[in-house]
Amino acid sequence: MAVASMQAVNIIGFMDHIDEVIMVLGESGVFHPDEVSDFYVDTRDFTHLQANNIFAEPLTDLRASLSRAKLDLELCDTREYSPGVNELTAYSESVARDIDALTDNVKLCEKRLDEAKKDYITASHFKGLDKELEQALKMKYIDARFGKLPKDSLQKLSMYRDDKYVDFAVCTEGNNNVWGVYFAPKELSEQIDRIFDGLYFERVNIVYDNETPSERIEKYNTLLPELEKDVRDAKRALEDYLGANREQITLCLSKLEELYLFAGIRTKAMQYNNSFIIVGWIPTANKDEISLRLKSIRSIEMDFSDAKNEMEKRPPAKLKNCFLAKPFEFYTEMYGVPKYNEIDPSLFVAITYIIIFGIMFADLGQGIVLSIVGILMWKLKKMKIGKILFPCGISSAIFGTIFGSVFGYEHLLDSVYQMAGLDEKPIEVMHRTNEIILSAIAIGVVLLIIAMMLNVYTSFRQHNYGRALFSQSGIAGIVFYSALVFGLAGELFLGLHVMTLPYILGLIVLPFILIYFDEPLTGLVNREENWKPESWGGYIVEKLFESIEVILSYVTNTMSFLRVGAFVLVHAGMMLVVFVLAETVGGVGYTIVVIVGNGLVMALEALLVAIQVLRLEYYEMFSRFYSGEGRAFEPVKLSTKN
């Protein structure tokens, strides 16, 4: 639940040594470059070293050529490969040209083969009509149209039975189309063509340079094998080229990728006279290593500063979490990256999400299946959600054991409970509806108070003491909300007379007044110059309406946790429906219905529960303490297979 400590780094040196500096920073894999203008107030005498990345074009061309050749290369370590820029770009251009030529040849051969096959198929539809075709094509006063017609359109020709010129002679039939010919007098050909166009008639060319369809087919019987051989030869030539040059091409691509990334540092650097300036961020853990390497370069001066002293420059946040919270960074980043001086909520999300998910999806058997599905999703598809589903499935199995549910069977574990000294399972869901609903609300109250405590901690950490003390999620809000909830619970459920006048005035009214005047009080405590509102009367009226929204937010945030209890009951209810249907079917169908029903319930409920728990995290808890308005730590780093 932490953001890694960062250092702002400022590097100045002679232009002759900039490439060495960039190489050190790039190879470190932990340098996040930033704009020089964000670190220096006056940059009028500074100039940008390089507006565009000179490696973008050769890299893009090589990538495109490899993509056309359907060659996916894994980047490799290039520390032992140091060609000159001109040599590297010339080689990449040469490789791109060679691959493009070989790929174009493959495409051309495939196109010729495809056209020949289509022509062969077309000719085969008119095989045996050689003499008839010759006579039809020689007619002076009648046009002949050869082609194909959908079978559905053939049936529609009956609408034109009164027109003696609208007819279609079928030669051959396929699954969906028929091939044949229609005739039309030349003076009526346009009119009849429009009719057949409306019936989706497609004309085909059957004039083959004085060749009949039969002669054409015989020709292709010899030509097609030759064209297929041309395609095989073209593909083999491409494969041979790629195979012989694969290692060198991989090195070239990797080096271009590396230099393209490193050039990103150069595009942010600026020049002042004969010196360069590079600024950025590195993790504190890597400070000594990078400092040692930079010191070995002549003329280099560097300055490090703790990021907490450079908050106006918006330090990037690098999330640093334990194995449990690591997968849940996915949810945190979906909402937004934390500010550098803001807590990382990933661990909080991990604990609360896993527990709430387990309660809402409580089933021993289904939980185990969900864990297995999560593992497979991660291992086979590398889906981030898979690493989240695994612990959620374990939690579901644990709570399923407490609720006594195994694939919907509510009493399958009774013997286990009896062995443990219990008369029955700990919680009978359908018999304890009220307790489950109240427990869900209690969970919500506890989590909201924790969320507000996190807000207090974050506010003090950010030196925003006013928000920590007087906001609706600050200390005043915690006291107001806790006192109100405890007072109502004591009066309504515990039989305690809590709502006394001192209790109401001291723990409810006073905190609410502080929340009401939180803006001027916050400005006063934070020593802001303009802490007073422009008009006290306007402020009081405006806050009157806002205070209603504040109270409603407490109520709605709390009531939202009713869905936790509701899904416990929904799960039991859905499985009850499955078993009623299974018993109705009976026999072998009983087992089939139970298996299919479990599958449907698992798929539907897992999706709904995952979404609903995430909603609780984002809207009910994150809104109390987390902004997510930071920026991610994005170091210049080349990912290789080594």
DSSP 3-state assignment of 177? Answer: strand
Alpha carbon distances (Å) from 517 to 180, 464, 471, 595: 88, 16, 9, 59
* Segment 339-361 mean pLDDT: 94
List the Cα angle 415/421/425 in 5-degree steps: 55
Q: Is the pLDDT of residue 642 over 60?
A: no
Picking from 4, 21, 584, the residue whose alpha carbon sits closest to that of residue 302 is: 21
Question: DSSP assignment of 441-462, as one string?
Answer: HHHHHHHHHHHHHHHHHHHHHT
Structure tokens at 440: 């869900």
Tell me, letter by letter, the H, E, C secondary structure of 349-393. HHHHHHHHHHHHCCCHHHHHHHHHHHHHHHHHHCCHHHHHHHHHH
| Helix residue spans in 43-170 (DSSP H) | 56-68, 85-124, 130-138, 151-156
Cα–Cα nearest to 7, from 200, 290, 233: 290
**Per-residue confidence (pLDDT) for residue 538, from 0 to 100:** 85
The CATH T-level fold of domain 2-49+269-316 is Alpha-Beta Plaits (3.30.70)
In sign, the C-alpha dihedral spanning 451, 454, 458, 459 is positive
3-state helix/strand/coil string of 500-548: CHHHHHHHHHHHHHHHHCHHHHHHHHCCCCCCCCCCHHHHHHHHHHHHH
Alpha-carbon distance of 634 to 30, in angstroms, equals 8
Residue 241: partners with Cβ closer than 8 Å, 6 or more residues away: 98, 99, 102
Whole-angstrom distance, CA of residue 1 vs CA of residue 391: 18
Residue 348, H or E segment: helix 346-360
Q: Which letter does DSSP use for residue 74 in this model?
A: P
From CA 75, how far away is CA 57, in angstroms rounded? 18
Place of tokens 């806050």: 543
Q: What is the pLDDT of the chain when averaged over all its residues?
A: 88
**What band does 563 get if pLDDT is binned at 50, 70 and 90?**
very high
Helix (H, G, I), strand (E, B) or coil at 43: coil
Residues of the chain with CATH 3.30.70.120: 2-49+269-316
Of the pLDDT bands very low, low, confident and very high (cuts 50, 70, 90), residue 281 is very high
Distances (CA, A) of 146 to 102, 137, 217: 38, 10, 17
- 209: confidence class by pLDDT, cuts 50, 70, 90: low
Segment among 189-193, 621-625, 633-637 with least mean pLDDT: 189-193
What's the confidence (pLDDT) of residue 336? 92
Average pLDDT over residues 563-575: 89
- Torsion sign over Cα 566, 568, 571, 575: negative
* The pLDDT value given to residue 106: 94
C-alpha dihedral sign at 373, 374, 380, 381:
positive
Query: What crossing angle do the helices spanning 85-124 and 213-268 adopt, rounded to 10°?
Result: 160
Mean pLDDT of 158-170: 79
Reported as half-sphere exposure (CB side, CA atoms, 13 A), residue 603 has a value of 6
Q: The domain 127-205: what is its CATH number?
A: 3.30.70.2750
* Residue 37 DSSP code: G
Query: How far from 306 is each of 8, 282, 287, 341, CA to CA, in Å?
Result: 6, 10, 11, 12
Q: 613 is written with which tokens?
A: 């728990």
Residue 110 identity (one-letter amino acid)? E
Write the pLDDT tens digit of every residue in 312-329.
Answer: 999 999 999 998 999 999
Could you give the residue range(s) of every CATH 3.30.70.2750 domain in the chain? Answer: 127-205
Alpha-carbon distances, residue 490 vs 432, 434, 435, 456, 496 (angstroms): 21, 17, 16, 27, 5
By three-state DSSP, how is residue 260 classified? Answer: helix
Among 418-427, 428-437, 631-640, which is the least confidently predicted range? 418-427
What burial class does residue 8 get, using C-beta atoms within 10 Å of its C-beta: 0-12 exposed, 13-18 middle, 19+ buried? buried
Look at residue 2 in the predicted model and tell me its pLDDT. Answer: 78
Instruction: Tell me the residue type at 505.
Output: L
CB atoms within 10 A of CB 638: 19
Q: What is the pLDDT of residues 399-411, one digit of tens each?
A: 999 888 899 888 8
Distance of alpha carbon 52 from alpha carbon 118, whole angstroms = 48
Global pTM value = 0.78
Label residue 210 by pLDDT band (50, 70, 90).
low
More confident residue, 108 or 640: 108
| 588-609 pLDDT per residue, tens | 889 999 999 999 999 999 999 9
What are the angstrom distances between the C-alpha of 95 and each of 71, 81, 528? 13, 17, 64
Give the H/E segment covering residue 479. helix 475-489
137 pLDDT more than 70: no
**Are the C-beta atoms of 367 and 361 separated by less than 8 Å?**
yes
Residue 50: its pLDDT value, please? Answer: 65
